[in-house]
């Protein structure tokens, strides 16, 4: 059973795709938490950060260079932005296909809610 994001990559589920190459895809988050909220997703199905292997290090680095390029193209690079990867239950992960959130377009506030 492919992940939700693989179904987007394969074109089986629609998404607002802003970038794709042979390693990653990026599309708008369906429930944006900021004026710019993109998800950068590897084509390879890696469930969580815990599953990143040494062989994936270049791929994960590529996710970040794509995020920086998209931040620049979105006009938020200079003001700044936030990159987030959630992992498992306590991290608040909902989709178990690795993805990098790129959020900006307003001050992003405190990093986490302190309890």
Give the max Cα distance, the chain: 41
In terms of CB distance, is 54 or 89 closer to ligand AMP? 89
Instruction: Check if the beta carbon of residue 74 is closer than 8 Å to that of residue 26.
Output: no
Q: How far apart are CA 14 and CA 41, in angstroms?
A: 15
Using alpha carbons only, give the angle 85, 88, 92 rounded to the nearest 5 degrees.
65
**Total of residues contacting ligand AMP (CB under 6 A):** 13
Does residue number 115 form part of the binding site for ligand AMP (CB under 6 A)? Answer: no
Does residue number 17 form part of the binding site for ligand AMP (CB under 6 A)? Answer: no
Binding positions for ligand AMP, 25-64, rule CB under 6 A: 27, 29-31, 39
Which of 92, 107, 109, 110 binds ligand AMP (CB under 6 A)? It is 92
Residue 99: active-site member: yes
Residue of 60, 55, 47 whose CA lies nearest to 91: 47
The catalytic residues are 99
Task: Return residues touching ligand AMP (CB under 6 A).
Answer: 4, 13, 15, 27, 29-31, 39, 86, 92-95
């Amino acid at each position: 059973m492919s992940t939700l994001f693989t179904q987007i990559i394969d074109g089986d589920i629609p998404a607002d795709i802003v970038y794709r190459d042979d390693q990653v895809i990026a599309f708008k988050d369906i429930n944006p938490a900021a004026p710019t909220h993109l998800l950068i997703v590897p084509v390879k199905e890696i469930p969580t950060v815990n599953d990143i292997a040494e062989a994936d290090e270049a791929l994960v680095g590529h996710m970040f260079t794509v995020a920086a390029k998209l931040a620049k193209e979105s006009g938020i690079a200079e003001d700044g932005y936030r990159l987030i990867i959630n992992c498992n239950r306590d991290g608040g992960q909902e989709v178990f296909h690795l993805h990098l959130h790129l959020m900006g377009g307003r001050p992003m506030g405190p990093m986490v809610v302190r309890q």
